Chains A and B, each alone.
Chain A
Amino acid sequence: MSTVLEQIEQQIAKLSSKAVKKNTGNIRTVADGVAKIDGLSDVMYNEMVQFPGGAIGIALNLEEDEVGCVILGDVSQLKEGDEVTTTGKLLSVPVGKALLGRTVDALGQPVDGKGPIDSKETYPVEKIAPGIIVRKSVSQPLFTGIMAIDSMIPIGRGQRELIIGDRGTGKTTITIDTIINQAKINKVGLASGDKNFRPVYSIYVAIGQKNSNVVRTISALEAAGALEFTVIVAAPAGDNPANQYLAPYSGAAIGEWFMENGMDALIVYDDLSKHAVAYRQISLILKRPSGREAYPGDVFYLHSRLLERAARLDGKGSLTALPIIETLAGDVSAYIPTNVISITDGQIFLETDLFNQGIRPAVSVGLSVSRVGSAAQIKATKQVGGKLKGELAQFRELAAFAQFGSDLDAKTKAQLDRGSRIVELFKQPAFAPLPIELQVAVLFAMQKGFFDPVDIKKIADAAASLKAFFTTRKDPLLAEVRTKAALDKDLEAKLLAACEEWKSSYAA
């Protein structure tokens, strides 16, 4: 008991003997979530400042005789003349495994009503990206569970792969599928007891999204059992622009914790177009000079410094980034899309026309590319799907050409026929990612011509039957493909025999 009293007395003595120095200022104007402040002569760039009523601000504009701050939180109680104090701290968010399964705001505070988050550590929201020496090249795969992507535009751990397309083309669905697939792989890997297995934790950052969309995403992840491996950072459309501007950096800080502590993480920024718009709004209110499309001059740096934080670190973990960009009328040459295309290591372009034709995921093979992912692709996928991208691109070209003429030679007809089958085979429903071993089995069957006798309209049905056959009756074979990750002669023979078996049962 006496120790407790001593502690209190020590605390009182500490408080009463010290005069605490604070650097203060007064609000000169406050509007649209931005305050102009007199004073604060000691404030640093990006420093957190304390407003009355618990609101926090970030000093973004340090001018000759005033400071421009964005305010995070409730601005309704703030008025001209209110005292503002520097804190000497950079904005930080709680990090760690305690955040898994939770939904937090841009400041890392829980918004899901599941109580406080028991996090021991915090990471600064703004951090300089890892340098050259500590990085390692991308060589480990990150399976999305989407056959068209894993076989043709593979993604590696530590890569930045942009997902770009018009509204309603399935951009978010691809990322949700990827998150669900990571959770599925994690469950299998952790259950196997393999000491070398490295789970991938996911962070989904919703920027400027409708609240209903965020709820739908959370429900989809929960229904698929993926929420326990996922952190949701939400800065929906109703949030002030400062929160929308900060949310991706907060998400990156949460992801960096996993990377720095030897784990792998995946982060989805949904989407960076709205992020740029939020930043433009802040910049215009702060009266920063505007450039093309009224974006401020540092809008490139806004995204480059964010995406550079995704990396694979030598001796540590990795952070893979899937930023999303929404285009208008398929215009990839607009300002923000071209910026982000140039920063990332490739892009998956989704086409409205394909989507409307029922080809989902609507991946445009010609415009999509993965610059570093092929090094991370497993050998089995390369063996069965190495030529797919070329074949499919050739098919699209031929299909466009064939529309003008009816007389086609046998070779062209065969190519068109094969292309149509590949297209049908790549159709995949939402929230149903395929394990890589099953993808290999399906692509193997396709390469060996098992789908050739099937009517094109029945390809999807046949593929579903093949998948069901393999999962229900050939599980050991799938496990072998998964563990070996390459097709040797023995495994090829086994797959061939299994396909023959399926063929006889399917035809019957």
Chain B
Amino acid sequence: MASHAKVAQKFARQLFAMSVVDGTVSADRVAGVLEYVEKHNVPNPVMVLKAYERLVSIELAKGVAVVEHAGEISAATLAAIESAMSKKYGRAVKARAESNPALLAGMRVHVGDDTYESSVAGQLAALGASV
């Protein structure tokens, strides 16, 4: 079982490498990969596709800034975040707003596995941890 998972993981990585063009995931290549898996007798297709989906989703998350906010957020702020993050990461980053009242005030931005904490809830948690 473990070796099947390893083989599937390795194959998924190869498929993923083929899906990236100029540092971004190409929709055409992904469609091609899915077609290949469907038509050919790929061993453990579910395992392969799940591993492939995970790799693609990690890559796609790097191009999206999820902006969690409490209260209103203006389009100008989102645009400013988009531009700042695109500049910082050297790639096109799209901002997506998600309301989260638990933050109390302020916002929290996720880009890939980086988190920028600027919410009151986060500050209170930091203050609580430091006391």
Contacts and interface: CB of A to CB of B under 8 A. Distances in A.
A25 B13 CA distance: 20
B122 A21 contact: no
Interface string B70-96: 000000000000000000000000000
B58 A38 contact: yes
Given A64-B13, A65-B55, A19 B127 contact: no
A22 B117 contact: yes
Interface in B97-131: 109-110, 112-118, 122-123, 126-127
Interface residues of B, number: 17
Interface string A11-51: 00001101111111100000000000011111000000000
B114 A65 contact: no
Contacts of A16: 123
B113 A40 contact: yes
A20 B118 contact: yes
Contact of B117 (A19, A25, A39, A65): A19
Interface range on chain A: under 10, 10 to 19, 20 to 34, or 35 or more? 10 to 19
Interface string B16-42: 000000000000000000000000000
A20 B13 contact: no
Interface in A36-76: 38-42, 64-65
A181 B112 CA distance: 58
A23 B114 contact: yes
Contact of A65 (B58, B109, B118, B122): B58
Nearest to B119: A19
Nearest to B107: A19
B117 A20 contact: yes
A19 B116 contact: yes
Nearest to A16: B123
B5 to A, nearest CB: 11
B126 A20 contact: yes
B116 A20 contact: yes
Contact of B113 (A15, A18, A19, A24): A24
Contacts of A39: 58, 112-113
A18 B116 CA distance: 10
Contacts of A24: 110, 113-115
Nearest to B9: A65
Contact of A41 (B54, B113, B127): B113
Contacts of B115: 21-24, 85
Most buried by B among A19, A39, A40, A42: A19
Contact of A25 (B113, B118, B126): B113
Nearest to B16: A65
A15 B114 contact: no
Contacts of A25: 113
B116 to A, nearest CB: 5
Given A65-B55, A65-B58, A23 B117 contact: no
Interface in B38-79: 54-55, 58
A185 B113 CA distance: 56
Contacts of B123: 15-16
Nearest to A25: B113
Contacts of B109: 19
Contacts of A21: 114-117
A65 B116 CA distance: 22
B108 to A, nearest CB: 9
Contacts of B110: 24
16 contacts: A15-B123, A18-B118, A20-B122, A20-B126, A21-B117, A22-B116, A23-B115, A25-B113, A38-B58, A38-B113, A39-B113, A40-B113, A41-B112, A42-B114, A65-B54, A85-B115
Given A20-B116, A20-B117, 19 more contacts: A15-B123, A15-B126, A15-B127, A20-B118, A20-B122, A21-B114, A21-B117, A22-B117, A23-B113, A23-B114, A23-B115, A24-B113, A24-B115, A25-B113, A38-B54, A39-B112, A39-B113, A65-B55, A65-B58
